[in-house]
Structure 1
Amino acid sequence: MTVTSGWAARWRTAGEGDRGSETIAAAIVTPLLLMLLCLAIAGGRIVTSGAKIDAAAEDAARAASISRTHSGAQSEAAAAAARSLDDQGIRCAEASTQVDASGLAVPVGQVGTVTVTITCTVALSDLLLPGVPGHKTLTSRFTSVVDAYRSREG
């Protein structure tokens, strides 16, 4: 029969009082890791949506700059923006397209520009992350040059 005394006995019994501490640590850390993951997904969604809205604004401005009339530029820009957003899989809760087609009124031979501004509200509420708003409004603006020698109706 061996009797252990001193530091060996203390060392052997020290580990016995920590039972369950890993479970408590996991219960504390797991929700924090899930929140960090959801936050990364929300940030990624905002960044990729912003890039896709930039591309839609570019497409809409180009379509508007090719148009010959102010009303045609408005409708072409709105249609191009909707097509581009749909093709890229962006679902806006609210979307608006503003077109400044004043460059179409410039006389032939002078350079004019058409500017399109797209505003899109992207939903984040499906992430169920506390502290993250339910939606984020993103705005993108792009200016396209109107061909100086193309005929226009003003």
Structure 2
Amino acid sequence: MTRRPKWVVGWWRQDRGSYTLETVICVAVLIPFLGLLAAYGLAGIFDNSVEGAASSAARAASQAADADIAQVRGRTAAEAALRQDDRNCTSRSIRIDTSAFSAPPGQAASVTATVTCTIPLSQLTVPGLPGSKTLTASAISVVDQYADRK
């Protein structure tokens, strides 16, 4: 029988404790990665909420009889949509373009609503994460072509 070198015989016994070290390293890398993944997922959900608010604002504004009422209804609908989804924007902007209300009846017209919402990244599951993300969405809704416009 041939004798094996000493390093070949017990090489697996020298590996004690490495599983613990590997686990600690993996967890240290995995937890921040999962936190960022969750933050991006929540940013997508916030983005959908902003798009929904823009759609609601455009739809509500397009059903108004004149431009002034359309502005009020559009802003109210956007605010209600953001509040319903519990979106706490640090700053928000709601623009309703009602210039198409000046078109005569019988001519195609549409209303455009743009909603901008800035959210702090610390609100996205990772407390203490610096910075913010600005989400913007626009939506267009057609005004009834034959309705009386003022």
Contact 1:109 1:149 in 2 (8 A): yes
Equivalent residue number for residue 75 of structure 1: 72
TM-score (norm 2): 0.87
**Residue 95 (structure 2) aligned to one of 89, 98, 104:** 98
Distance 1:107 1:28, change over 3 A: same
Contact 2:113 2:139 in 1 (8 A): yes
SS of residue paired to 1:118: strand
Cα distance between partner residues in 2 of 1:6 and 1:60: 84
Cα distance between partner residues in 1 of 2:31 and 2:57: 38
Q: CA RMSD in A?
A: 2.2
Equivalent residue number for residue 88 of structure 1: 85
**Residue 62 (structure 1) aligned to one of 37, 47, 59:** 59
**Residue 136 (structure 2) aligned to one of 136, 139, 153:** 139
User: Aligned AA for 1:48?
Assistant: I
Cα distance between partner residues in 2 of 1:31 and 1:120: 33
Structure index of larger Rg:
1
Equivalent residue number for residue 27 of structure 1: 24
User: Aligned AA for 2:77?
Assistant: A
User: Aligned AA for 1:37?
Assistant: L
Cα distance between partner residues in 2 of 1:91 and 1:12: 64
Cα distance between partner residues in 2 of 1:45 and 1:115: 26
Contact 1:38 1:129 in 2 (8 A): no
Cα distance between partner residues in 2 of 1:134 and 1:6: 64
Cα distance between partner residues in 1 of 2:41 and 2:69: 36
Structure 1 residue 129: deviation in Å?
A: 7.7
Structure 2, unpaired ranges of 5+: none
Cα distance between partner residues in 1 of 2:9 and 2:77: 73
